[in-house]
Structure 1
Amino acid sequence: MPYVESAVRGPQIVAAARAVLIRDGVAKTSLRAVASEAGIPLGTLQHVFPSKQRLLQAVIEQVVDDISEVLRSAADTESGLAHAIAQGLRNFWSTLVEGHRGLQVLQYELVTHALRTPGLEDLARMQYRRYAEVVQQWCTEAADRSHERSAVPYDRLARVLVAAVDGLILQQVSDPDGARSEQDLEAVVQMLVALAAPSPR
């Protein structure tokens, strides 16, 4: 097999690892299974990721990047804070939750794994901080563009939004019901808009 740089192999291996993790779960995923999924020798994988922990760290970082990017692009910040909250949540839900149960289960499994693994605890903290930072950014941007203010600090609004959606996702993957989740999401939107209580500056 021709030599391929680690920078090229890395994304290929992480993509294969995500597929295996979604299919088999963290506990049952082995480096050998990931190598097979990626179509490369085990030794090639171990050259890039010497241990399962290193590979899981890369997967966690990529999942956080992907979800953060969807959060970043989900909101319409041109029409005020209330609209940004509502549209951002609806777009996020339709893009990354509906039809993506495996990804969401994997996300929770990776968080639990990071919290239980010495040396990886910061990854779980980083994950939720990143999500909140992205939401805070588009809430602030939406309010600034419409010359509005929020009744609560934007960092608190963002943390509450992330926590509320996190709970809805966990409920949906545990007890799937699309119609119920859609109604509950709208209730969360209303609660968050009421919490923010946007007003003119």
Structure 2
Amino acid sequence: MARMPSGERRRQLVEAAVRVMARDGVARATTRAICAEAGVSLSVFHYCFDSKQALLEAAIESITGSYVARVMSAVEPKVTLRETVRGALGTYWDHVVTHPAEHMLTYELTQYALREEGFEHLARAQYEQYVASAATLIRQVCALRGLTPKVPLELLAQVLAATIDGLTLQFLVLGDERAAEALLDATADHLVGLMDG
């Protein structure tokens, strides 16, 4: 096995963990299964992570960070604020539609963390990261348009995070793309109303 920097090994293990958990579920994602997926030994896992809890935390951060990076790279000023907001929502939504198992995994990680003693803080961190990410995106959109939101940024970020969370779960359960698109349009309208008026 070729030597590689520990940061790269950590990333390799996190990516393997996400694949295993999305495919088999969080409870069945043992460190052995994750190591097998990554093609590394258990000793490499223990060198890179103190515990499975640390790996799950890194997986949550990686998944959320990936979503945010994808959306932020797509945020660009369009003709109207609504088109800018709807475009950003659409970028996220395209990933939901094409990678539903990864999004189901985020809900499973939340439930797992809430039920496993000692892991509860991971669920809180996950949702705090959603709100912080939403705030970053709103700040970027406002900066592009020279806006100051009509409501406090933290509240607007919580509204966005809660709305997207609910829309995603509803889509994963019902699978109704037409309804999801209509709800995304309504969400864009609502956000624009809170950002500019």
Q: Share of identical aligned residues, percent?
A: 35
- CA deviation map 1:5-45 (0-9, x unaligned): 43232111111111111100001111111111111223332
Instruction: Quote the residue 2:150 is aligned against.
Output: 151
Instruction: Quote the residue 1:10 is aligned against.
Output: 10
- Partner Cα distance (1:148, 1:57) in 2: 34
Instruction: Quote the residue 1:44 is aligned against.
Output: 44
Instruction: Quote the residue 1:108 is aligned against.
Output: 107
- Partner Cα distance (1:101, 1:129) in 2: 22
- Partner Cα distance (2:139, 2:3) in 1: 47
Q: Is the 8 A contact 1:114 1:123 kept in 2?
A: yes
Q: CA RMSD in A?
A: 2.3
Q: What number of residue pairs does the alignment pair up? A: 197
Q: Is the 8 A contact 1:172 1:181 kept in 2?
A: yes
Give yes or no for the alignment of 1:183 onto 2:192.
Answer: no
TM-score scaled by length of structure 2 = 0.86
Over 3 Å counting, the alpha-carbon distance change for 1:72 and 1:114 in structure 2 is farther
Give yes or no for the alignment of 1:89 onto 2:89.
Answer: yes
- Partner Cα distance (2:6, 2:146) in 1: 48
TM-score scaled by length of structure 1 = 0.84
Q: Is the 8 A contact 2:85 2:141 kept in 1?
A: no
Instruction: Quote the residue 1:139 is aligned against.
Output: 138
Instruction: Quote the residue 1:98 is aligned against.
Output: 97
- CA deviation map 1:56-84 (0-9, x unaligned): 22212211221222232232246564343
Over 3 Å counting, the alpha-carbon distance change for 1:70 and 1:126 in structure 2 is farther
Instruction: Quote the residue 1:65 is aligned against.
Output: 65
Over 3 Å counting, the alpha-carbon distance change for 1:190 and 1:34 in structure 2 is same
2:76 aligned partner, one-letter code: D
Over 3 Å counting, the alpha-carbon distance change for 1:72 and 1:146 in structure 2 is closer
Aligned-partner SS, 1:148: coil
Flag structure 2 segments of 5+ consecutive residues without an equivalent.
none
- Partner Cα distance (2:166, 2:100) in 1: 14
- Partner Cα distance (1:28, 1:4) in 2: 28
- State the shift of 1:50 in Å: 4.6
Over 3 Å counting, the alpha-carbon distance change for 1:141 and 1:16 in structure 2 is closer
- State the shift of 1:116 in Å: 2.9
Q: Is the 8 A contact 1:77 1:139 kept in 2?
A: no
- Partner Cα distance (2:5, 2:148) in 1: 49
